[in-house]
Copies of this chain bind each other. A is one copy, B any other.
Amino acid sequence: MKDQTMPIHQASADAFLQDFHHVASIGATERGGVERQAATDDDRRTRDWFSEFARAHGWSVDVDSIGNVFATVEFVPGAPAILSGSHLDSQPRGGRFDGAYGVIASLHAAAEVQRRVEAGALAPKYNLVVVDWFNEEGSRFAPSIMGSSVFSGLMDRDEILAVRDLEGCTVRDALEGIGYLGASQGPRELAGYAEVHIEQGRILEREGVALGAVDSSWYTQKLDIEVFGEQSHTGATAMADRRDALVGAARVTLLVRDICSEYPAESLVSSVGQITVEPNSPIVVNSHVHLVADLRANDPAIVQGARDALVERFRLVAEEERLEIVAKDFDIRPNRYYPQEGVELQQRVADSLGLSIRRMQTMAGHDSVALNTVTPSVMMFVPSVDGVSHCEREFTRDEDLVNGLAALTGVVSEMLTGALDGVAYPGRPTVAVEA
């Protein structure tokens, strides 16, 4: 155990931080964030940087048919792979830590592992593959967690390639456009997956704990809501004659937010994130609004109860406002449980490194949730200042980033020598994940 959990040397930590802060300059926004939505030119630039890093270390790089990029550190030709990674894409005006941290930490963990193997300090039985999953964010192309879900067989590749952004561009065309629509299938035989990520919540910060070992994910679903009214003149139409779809959408937006207060504090979170309005002209009453609401709770019954109550309230709004409101469930993601052995592995590694750690849940979705259906997966968190995420002021301190790198390096080293061999993982969800 001791060999695999050595702390990271200062020079390695510095090299990692230098790379991390360099990648944060790609697509950098004025207020300290990044904007690198999936398959845009800035997403391409991070992928090019990833590929150059891998090749400079002598690793092979290949791209699969949904744009996931794999860098293979071969130790045992023909052996199964331990995967480690996250995603380099971001939300519009997103933070520079979400996703990118996990990919860059994985690259540096792999470099450290390679050094230890070459020094005779580690004898892997598997190969190590660092991965940048395509479109985890789902902002340009919905749904989120796209590349890892296709890789894991949870979404159909051809259906996903045909998904369009709001401008009508397909995933296929966007990936071809940036030169990242590959022909590889990626590693075929898997022995495990590890991912490190910022918490995106305040628990670790509040408790002053260095690491979070994620044992499960919340139950989540989205509602696709369409409101239909009638277009008319904002100046000449009598108020009594207006059937204003935007008024209906405003009431839907407030219902989605307000329902959380009917449950114990923070047991349910729910917001409308996306809204599309037609015809959206200053002097026209709108005829059509499309909204996407996101509901999450640890307890599936809470999400389902809130969803049923909302749909019934939408019906009343439609009646009162003389509108039509259609709500459809999509992107339902059940609770997922990470293998207990992976949580314990993280605790052992943290103990060896002298770092504090606690078990926790994730409210946000991650690529590891998809991977956990096909291979034993480990999800690790580091603290997030103020818990803010998907925004430019998202922040994690260098010290916490390096702690996470050391822990990931230890976990990956253990997995490469068989620490999670034979471990049971949940397999395919019984509730369908709809695209």
Measured CB to CB, the residues of A under 8 A from B are: 91-94, 137-139, 142-144, 199-202, 218, 220, 222, 230-242, 244, 246-247, 249-251, 253-254, 257, 260-261, 265-266, 268-287, 292, 294, 296, 362-365, 386-393
Q: Across the interface, which residues of B come within 8 angstroms of A391, CB to CB?
A: 230-232, 287
Chain B residue, CB-CB nearest to A289: B275
Instruction: Indicate whether A244 sits within 8 Å of B230 (C-beta atoms), given known contacts A139-B284, A287-B93.
Output: no
Q: Across the interface, which residues of B come within 8 angstroms of A270, CB to CB?
A: 234, 239
Q: How far, in angstroms, from A124 to B308 measured CA to CA in the complex?
A: 72
Q: How far, in angstroms, from A142 to B234 measured CA to CA in the complex?
A: 15
11 extra A-B contacts, CB within 8 A, seeds A139-B284, A237-B269, A246-B253: A91-B281, A93-B231, A200-B233, A202-B238, A231-B390, A234-B273, A236-B363, A249-B253, A273-B281, A275-B277, A281-B390
The one of B92, B266, B268, B284 in contact with A284, judged by C-beta atoms closer than 8 angstroms, is B92
The one of B93, B231, B244, B292 in contact with A282, judged by C-beta atoms closer than 8 angstroms, is B292
A281 touches B238 (CB 8 A): no
Instruction: Pick 18 A–B contacts, CB within 8 A, sort by A.
Output: A137-B281, A139-B284, A142-B282, A201-B236, A202-B238, A222-B282, A230-B393, A233-B389, A234-B269, A236-B387, A240-B266, A242-B271, A246-B272, A247-B254, A251-B254, A274-B277, A276-B280, A287-B391
A390 touches B294 (CB 8 A): no
A235 touches B247 (CB 8 A): no
Chain B residue, CB-CB nearest to A218: B235
